[in-house]
Each structure stands twice: as C-alpha cells, then as structure tokens.
Amino acid sequence: MRIMRFAIIGAGFWARYQLSGWRELVGAECVAICDRDRAKAEAMAQEFGVAAVFDDPAEMFASATLDFVDIITTPETHGPLATIALRHGVPVICQKPLTPTIEESRQLVSAAKGAGISLYVHENWRWQAPIRAFREVLASGRLGKVIRGRIDFANSFPVFDNQPNLKEMEQFIIADMGTHILDVARFLWGEATDLYCQTRRIRADIKGEDVATVMMRMGNDVTVTANMSYASRWEFDRFPETFIYVEGSEGGASLGADCTVKVFTRDGVEERRVAPPDYAWANPNYALIHASIVDCSRNLLSALRGEGTAETTGADNLKTLELVFAAYDSAASGKAIKFS
C-alpha cells in the first residue's frame, strides 16, 4: 500500500485531534505542518514527530511532495488556502464551513471541478456511531411512512472557553453547528424543499446568535425541526450528544441520552446503546466527536486512494451550506425560503 503523504495547515485547538485521528489509519502520513505562528507549528511537529514545518503555505506547496492537504484554520482562510493547493494540483480536505459565503463556496467547488482535483469537506458529525445506527433504523422501513423528525443540539457547554474566537463570529451557531446539524438532517431525510428559521442571541458577550430553530420540509414530505442552542439547560445536558426523534405511521424512534437508540412499534420497545470507539487521545468533553473524526477521515482517505466514494465532497457540502445561508436569510426576513 502506497503511503499518502499529507500536510496540515493550522496548528490550533482542533488540529491536534484531527492529526491524532489520521494517525489511527493505515496508509497516511503527515509530513508537514504549516501555521502562520511558526512556534505553534514547531511545537505540534515536535509532539507528533513531523519533520517539516512552515509558516508560509505557498512555500510549503512549492517544496513539499504532497498527496493531499488538510486545512484546519478559521473559515475566512479556507478559500484562499484551498485555492493555493488547487494551483499546485494538491487535493484538499477542508474543515467546515467550506467558506464564509455561499458564493465563495460555489466558486471554490467550481474551481476544483474545473481543475479535476478532489475537494472534500471533513464533515464528521454524520459519522458518529449512534447517528449511523439511527439512519439504519430509518432505512429499515420499520417505522412506515415517516411523518415528522426533530434534531436537538441544545446544551449549556462552555464552548467559548476552548475556542474564544467564536465570540467574534457575526454569524455563530448556524454557521458553526448548523453546518453539522443541517448536514445530519440531509443525511437522514434527503434534500429540503422549503425552510423557515428564527434566531436569538442570549449571551451578552458574543456577536452572533447562540440559539436557532430551523423548520424544513424534506425528502418524502417529512417535516423536520432542527433546534440548536448553547444557552439551554436540560435534564440531559450532554454536550456533544445530538438527540433525534422520528414519528412514523407504524412506529417511532429516538436517539437519546448516552447514545441510546430506541425503536417503538406495536410489538413493543427495543433499546440499545451505540457506543463510539474509545481513543486514548480524545478529549473527554469531545470524545463522541473525536471518534467520528477517524471514520470520516477513513472514508475520505479511501476516496483519495481511488478505492471508495467520499460522502462529503465539496459539491455535496454545498447543499448543506445552502440550508445554512438560507436559514440566515429566513431569520433576517421573517419569511420562508423555497428551493427549486
């Protein structure tokens, strides 16, 4: 098996977990780390045994032999950095959101397509083990015709403690979490035909919204509500768990606390816990998410090697971003958005 050589751009909070996830896979080797703060890149390179360090992406692409690059930086830098990679013929994996605007994202996807170079988004949320298991329940047909679904990501986790830069985002929870939650909605129920959104800002020391409610009609005429909040206190205040509820003509299903999947039918209730893999390097507060990094990266690596199909291509992620930015348009106008 040929080893796929890759570089990481960005050496911040999330990068160490992303790199740890890559190290769980056979056939990929990080050969360079780049960050405009060279000291941060050097510290991470020393910790993980990576030989090359750069503070200039252009210099890195000009001098390093790479099979792909993983961009783990702030959203406004994604487009420019990905564009440099494409110019050098290097496939790109990018953190979400792909770019800060739908127009820039469309241009980037078009540029990658025109150049014939792979562009992927590391959309790991749908790769959580309990969410994959919940989709299998829906696909089984046991619930009959699905009528209504709900996704709740609502908790009081102090997300700004580890990522204080999030306080400065003019668009916060939909841009940050909505990229995940709305992608899960698509993963479970298909594409939206219309959308309506309301937002709130509860916390006084942030610029963006920290509460959002999005209602959509999706797939085969399913009404889906997505609730997102970092200002909620519940009986089960379990960041980073996502709760999902579905009603069907023949039964219902839920993904609840502690990764518990339940199915309700005339025959009774079935219950099982779908535990994520356990990795020693995972932060206990983010362990469920960190486990999903590995499976998402495995899927993208398989596609890069020409051995499988990537789920979260740039083109596919555009459909999620259309929901994200439509949600902001709806919240600003107070009107529903229809998709052609």
How does residue 163 score in pLDDT terms, banded at 50, 70 and 90? confident
The two tokens of residue 220 are 């085969």
Q: How high is the pLDDT of residue 19?
A: 97
Sequence-ordered list of residues with C-beta below 8 angstroms from that of 112, at least 6 positions apart, any chain: 82, 86, 92, 118, 119, 314
Q: Give how far Cα 60 sits from Cα of 44, 54, 71, 79, 92, Å.
A: 16, 6, 13, 17, 14
Residue where a domain terminates, one of 87, 121, 155: 121
208 within domain boundaries: yes
**Last residue of some domain: 121, 144, 172?**
121
For residue 21, being part of any structural domain is answered with: yes
Query: pLDDT above 90 covers what percent of the chain?
Result: 91
How high is the pLDDT of residue 230? Answer: 93
Summarize the confidence of residues 2-29 as an average pLDDT: 96
CATH assignment of the domain containing 54: 3.40.50.720
- Counting the structural domains of the chain, the total is 2
Asked if residue 276 and residue 138 are part of one domain, the reply reads: yes
For residues 111 and 131, what is the distance between their CA atoms, to the nearest angstrom? 32
Q: What is the mean pLDDT of the chain?
A: 96
pLDDT, mean of residues 119-129: 98
At 132 the pLDDT is 98
Residues 132 and 110 in one domain: no
- Can you tell me the mean pLDDT for 41-59? 97
**What is the pLDDT at residue 228?**
96
State whether 247 and 323 are in the same domain.
Answer: yes
Residues 113 and 132 in one domain: no
Cβ contact 7:32 at 8 Å: yes
- Per the document, the length of the chain is 340
pLDDT given at position 220: 87
Q: Verify that 150 and 198 share a domain, yes or no.
A: yes
The pLDDT of residue 78 is 97
User: What single-letter DSSP state applies at residue 127?
Assistant: G
Query: How much is the pLDDT for 1?
Result: 76
Same domain for 113 and 51: yes
Same domain, 245 and 114: no
Question: Structural domain of residue 264, as residue ranges?
Answer: 126-283+313-338
Domain assignment of residue 35, yes or no: yes
**53 in a structural domain:** yes
Per the domain annotation, does 296 fall within a domain?
A: no
Can you tell me the mean pLDDT for 242-264? 97
Q: How confident is the model at residue 236 (pLDDT cuts 50, 70, 90)?
A: confident
Residues 151 and 85: their CA atoms lie apart, in Å, by: 36
Least confident segment among 78-82, 102-106, 128-132, 163-167: 163-167
Q: What are 68-104's pLDDT values in tens digits?
A: 999 999 999 999 999 999 999 999 999 999 999 999 9
Q: Is residue 298 part of a domain?
A: no
Decide if pLDDT at 340 tops 80.
Answer: no
CATH (domain of 167): 3.30.360.10
pLDDT of residue 224: 98
Q: Where are the alpha helices (DSSP H) in the chain?
A: 15-22, 38-48, 57-63, 75-87, 102-115, 129-140, 159-162, 173, 179-189, 287-304, 314-333
Q: Is the pLDDT of residue 234 over 90?
A: no
Lowest-pLDDT range, 106-110, 129-133, 284-288, 323-327?
284-288
User: Residues 46, 95: one domain?
Assistant: yes
Which residues neighbour 169 within 8 Å (Cβ) at sequence distance 6 or greater? 175, 176, 206, 207, 208
100 and 197 co-located in one domain: no
303, 120 Cβ separation under 8 angstroms: yes
Same domain (yes/no): 90, 167: no
The verdict on 135 and 110 lying in the same domain is no
Q: Which of 94, 121, 148 is the last residue of a domain?
A: 121
**138 and 114 share a domain?**
no
pLDDT at residue 116 tops 90:
yes
Q: Is the pTM of this model over 0.85?
A: yes
pLDDT grade for 285, boundaries at 50, 70 and 90: confident
> What is the predicted pLDDT for the residue at 162?
80
pLDDT at residue 43 in the model: 97
Report how far apart, in Å, the C-alpha atoms of 167 and of each of 74, 170, 175, 200 are: 13, 8, 13, 15
